[in-house]
Amino acid sequence: YIQRTYNLTKGVNFEEEKDTRYMDLNLGENEILKARIKQLELAMDVMVHSSSFLLPYNPAEETRYALVVLNQNLPRFTPLLWEHATLRLCADGGANRIYDELPLFFPHEDASSIRNRLDCLYIEQNYFRYKPDVIKGDMDSIRRDVLDFYVSLGTQVIDESHDQDTTDLDKCILYIRDSASNLESSRFQILATGALGGRFDHEAGNLNVLYRYPDTRIVLLSDDCLIQLLPKNHLHELHIQSSLEGPHCGLIPIGTPSAKTTTSGLKWDLSNTEMRFGGLISTSNLVKEEKITVESDSDLLWTISIKKTGLPLENNTP
Amino acid sequence: MDLNLGENEILKARIKQLELAMDVMVHSSSFLLPYNPAEETRYALVVLNQNLPRFTPLLWEHATLRLCADGGANRIYDELPLFFPHEDASSIRNRYKPDVIKGDMDSIRRDVLDFYVSLGTQVIDESHDQDTTDLDKCILYIRDSASNLESSRFQILATGALGGRFDHEAGNLNVLYRYPDTRIVLLSDDCLIQLLPKNHLHELHIQSSLEGPHCGLIPIGTPSAKTTTSGLKWDLSNTEMRFGGLISTSNLVKEEKITVESDSDLLWTISIKKTGLPLENNTP
């Protein structure tokens, strides 16, 4: 075969006839192979999922995150999610949570200094570390003192109280999609806290947001678990961070029964198995491998537990 | 026509007959009202392993059968005394003894188990059975015990089924779908959830001092081609509902009687008011 390579020592691109028995995997070939894998994955509709947002923040990470904070108790790893996110929104009363509860994660520091803390990398730009970029929603839950405080720091406030047809999470997703339209969608993920618990109709409405935006990667997070949509007719690969998540997991056909779902890597794998409410759904399952695959004829919710220990809470600031 | 006691009874019986013929199911959150020894509905209470709702003592009063599912016993032991801050914890624990503790026993604390065993609580260890959830096991026990009771007058109240791990919550919602002939109500501090089986005319009698106004109808499991309601702020009229499209959330009850009819099993949910809820009857 003819191989086109970038030779590290000679520093040139050149073509040479190569014996297929001797395949040197050098840097350039690595890139070509990666590109080919991507091409094949796209053709096969493979979606790869990884909970990298539970790992320490890495400035070189490829995925861009937006964080939406809804009005329930903040999960204990919220500071970590905040680090990863380049866009941070509070949905209405979610701003109360940031104001009241974020300081509680830093018990040795003064609450006011957490709220007002300047990021030491950006002091000259007046960059507040825990200041939301946007507060959006119908404004019926946010406290007046909280609203005034973040306005004084420069947070953009978008009052949508005229729009009663969409939930607060909806409004935030729409804002993010409008702002982020220039970003490649597979590299952009929305993390939402506080979408679960509380009133069940709120929770159901938030789950429905996952179904209504199947092309947008949205992860709902609580102290106990995460939930994301696995759109139908794709081959899903879930890369499990086993020190941080699992082993408890489930696949839930919330909206429509599934005639055939197939998995690998679980304790109780499915093999063209039917799942429906009223019958079998996969709950209290366990991840056995570091890579789980799921393929289904129906949109499914994937849920996995988040470990109580082992989770890095925040990077050390440089 | 004198409407005397006897005729009243005849009329009531006739209404019941008609309702049954029309497949009318009547729902009322009477378990949120003070306990009345003359009440017709019999209740069983199942306590699962999440924080106890603040009205748990009231539910306990209503129930003639009280079960803890595994770690639910820890909740009764630890948290019930907190509702009676002026009383000695030990006397509360002795007063609120579950009839049965059932489940796979991987969450209940040893000291809690020993305490209730010493009081005479029946313990049914199902750790061999990993195929059914703790709530499942309790429902099966209740149905077996209560088979002599008329089913429309028997209701199972379950606390702690929501929140925590989502796969647990989904499994508990699935229990409602898997026992559509059994009246099961899931309760939390914030709301209640019950199944409205398809192809019935449902009448929901709202206790407006205790529940609402926030409510919803959720087509979990299967889309609904046609749902019709009355008494809501945003009523449905042969409306389609599905995940990925419209579902009824953040709705409001407007009337004291809500009707719902659907071609699909729906979950009805309504908020529970933070104030106005009687917590417990005075013991006679």
Instruction: Determine whether the interchain pair B242/A252 forms a contact, defined as Cβ–Cβ distance below 8 Å.
Output: no
Interface of A with B (CB under 8 A): 164, 167, 196-202, 204-205, 207-208, 211-212, 214, 222, 224-225, 227, 248-250, 252-257, 276-279, 281-285, 299, 301, 303, 305
Quick: pLDDT tens for A86-140: 999 999 999 999 999 999 998 888 888 788 876 655 554 456 678 999 999 888 8
SS3 per residue for chain B: CCCCHHHHHHHHHHHHHHHHHCCEEEEECHHHCCCCCCCCCEEEEEECCCCCCCCHHHHHHHEEEEEEECCHHHHHHHHHHHHCCCCCHHHHHHHCCCCEEEECCCCCCHHHHHHHHHHCCEEEECCCCCCCCHHHHHHHHHHHHCCCCCHHHEEEEEECCCCCCHHHHHHHHHHHHHCCCCEEEEECCCEEEEEECCCCEEEEECCCCCEEEEEEEECCCCCEEEEEEECECCCCCCEEECCCCCCEEEEEECCCEEEEEECCCEEEEEEECCCCCCCCCCCC
Tens-digit pLDDT profile for residues A9-36: 444 455 555 554 445 555 677 778 777 7
Closest by Cα among A229, A239, A245, A216 to A312: A245
Contacts of B3 (CB under 8 A, 6+ apart): none
Of B130, B190, B216, which is closest to A204 when you measure between CB atoms?
A: B216
Interchain CB distance below 8 Å, B170 and A255: no
CB contact under 8 A, A202 and B250: yes
Mean pLDDT of A39-43: 69
- pLDDT in the model for residue B111: 96
Residue A195 has pLDDT above 90, yes or no: yes
Decide if B269 and A200 are in contact by the 8 Å CB cutoff.
yes
Residues of A in contact with B191 (CB under 8 A): 199-201
Cis, peptide link before residue B213, omega less than 30° from 0: yes
User: Which residues partner with A237 through β-bridges?
Assistant: A48, A293
How many Å lie between the alpha carbon of B257 and the closest alpha carbon of chain A? 19
Using a CB-CB cut-off of 8 Å, the residues of chain B touching A278 are 174, 177-178, 180, 221, 265
* Each residue's pLDDT tens digit, A262-272: 999 999 999 99
Distance from CA of A221 to the nearest CA of B (A): 10
ipTM of the complex: 0.89
**What are B248's strand-pairing partners?**
B217
Per-residue pLDDT of A218-233, as tens digits, reads: 999 999 999 999 999 9
Asked if B221 lies within 8 A of A276 by C-beta distance, the reply is yes
What is the structure's pLDDT at B224?
Answer: 98
Instruction: Give chain B positions within 8 Å (CB) of A198.
Output: 190
Q: Looking at A50-64, A66-80, A104-118, B115-129, which range is the least confident one?
A: A104-118
B99 contacts B121 by C-beta, under 8 angstroms? yes
Chains A and B: how many Cβ contacts under 8 Å?
Answer: 134
Pick the range with the lowest mean pLDDT from A141-145, A163-167, B241-245.
A163-167
What 3-state DSSP class applies to A186? helix
Residue A166's pLDDT band (boundaries 50, 70, 90)? confident
CATH numbers and ranges of domains, chain A: 59-223 (3.40.50.10240), 224-309 (2.60.120.320)
The one-digit pLDDT tens for each residue of chain B (284 residues) are: 455 567 888 887 777 777 666 689 999 999 999 998 888 889 999 999 999 999 999 999 999 999 999 999 999 999 999 999 999 999 999 999 999 999 888 899 999 999 999 999 999 998 776 667 889 989 999 988 876 555 557 899 999 999 999 999 999 999 999 999 999 999 999 999 999 999 999 999 999 999 999 999 999 999 999 999 999 999 999 999 999 999 999 999 999 999 999 999 999 999 999 886 655 543 33
Nearest chain A CA: its distance from B192 CA (Å): 8
Nearest to B167 among A196, A257, A284 (CB): A284
Please indicate whether, in this complex, the C-beta atoms of B221 and A254 are within 8 angstroms of each other. yes
Task: State whether A256 and B243 contact (CB < 8 Å).
Answer: yes
Give the global pTM: 0.86
